[in-house]
Chains A and B, each alone.
Chain A
Amino acid sequence: MADSEPIDINWLRKTFDEDSILAELYTMYVGDITKRLSELREALAAKDAERCSRVAHTMKGSSGNVGAGRMRELATQLEKHDWAADPAAVPALAQSLDAEFGRVRTFVEQFLAGSPVAG
């Protein structure tokens, strides 16, 4: 089902006729989020709540633009999370983002390899 897919392919397909543009955007997104997650890990290690929130905000924006719904939800939760009130939840959220990103990467690899994806 499309709902369980990490990326809703119809989000971009309703805008772009060519799958080559989707491939270009997904590839850019995977590279971009790989860097952001690395930045997030640094912010967590430094216990820098502000930076953590800023990175989550950026991930939220780009995840929405490519149709990565679950990534967007998790990034929103992390951005809004009250670090001071519940510090233990922050690493858990970051891990959830990592795990979801693993699914995104697999999805994109399949898409680029030309395998059928839910649409």
Chain B
Amino acid sequence: MNRTVSSAEWIGATPRQSVLIVDDSPTDLLYLTRVLERPDRHIISVRSGEEALQVLKGFECALVLLDIHLEGLNGFQTAEKIRAEERTRHLPVIFITATSRDQENVFRGYDAGAVDYLFKPLEANLLRSKVNVFCELSAQRLVIQEQLKEIQAKNEVLHRQLEEIKTLRGLVPICARCKNVRDDSGFWQTIEAYVCDHSEAEFSHSLCPECTGVLYPGLQIHSHAPARTPQS
């Protein structure tokens, strides 16, 4: 069987550039595929509404081209089922029909969520233009979604950091003798460990002149640090 009419060729496609075509005529499926195919686009072609719904369950598409006259679920019924699913509620559907421009059918299509209508024989340039527009919109929507995810992730980091700052600014119980502090879980730890856990600060070990004098009484100390004087 020609690969363009296989209903299983959607595996491994790039979601943002996928177009699902549903038509029970293998000739029309092949024609649509050849008109719409591009190196950066994947065409998924199926011959029934049921197959289309199966594909959409596990696959992101930019657009569906849906023939109205299908065996089993017809195009309108298929579109209604697409609308009923949360994941595919806003998926653009273009109906295709060989019927003459029948007003009743057209309006029914719009009720079912059709964004457009095309009549066979299909004019290739018009079809390409319409499909290109929807593919670009889909790609833009994915970029915006990615940017939104990044912003949300950054917001979470900022929120966490703000919480840590608030923790450091809150009331911290400190032992009057050893100067250890009690953390949020009730454990006592050194003040250095506590500050390290709750901020970006790190400690390096040193001795102040006063302690050096106590520990090493004979040692001459030449410090350029200003002497601390108590605030009045």
Contacts and interface: CB of A to CB of B under 8 A. Distances in A.
B35 A62 contact: no
Interface in B108-128: 120-122, 124-125
Given A57-B69, A57-B98, A28 B2 contact: yes
Given A57-B69, A61-B120, A65-B122, A25 B25 contact: no
Interface string B187-216: 000000000000000000000000000000
Interface in B59-90: 67, 69
A15 interface: yes
A32 B34 contact: no
Determine chain A's interface SS by DSSP, over half rule. Answer: helix
For chain A, which range describes its interface: under 10, 10 to 19, 20 to 34, or 35 or more residues? 20 to 34
Contacts of B2: 24, 28
A101 B201 CA distance: 85
A16 B34 contact: yes
B197 to A, nearest CB: 67
A58 B25 contact: yes
A66 interface: yes
Contacts of B124: 14-15
A32 B24 contact: no
Interface string A59-102: 01110111100001000000000000000000000000000000
16 contacts: A25-B27, A28-B2, A28-B26, A28-B30, A32-B26, A57-B69, A58-B24, A58-B98, A61-B25, A61-B28, A61-B97, A62-B28, A65-B27, A65-B31, A65-B122, A66-B31
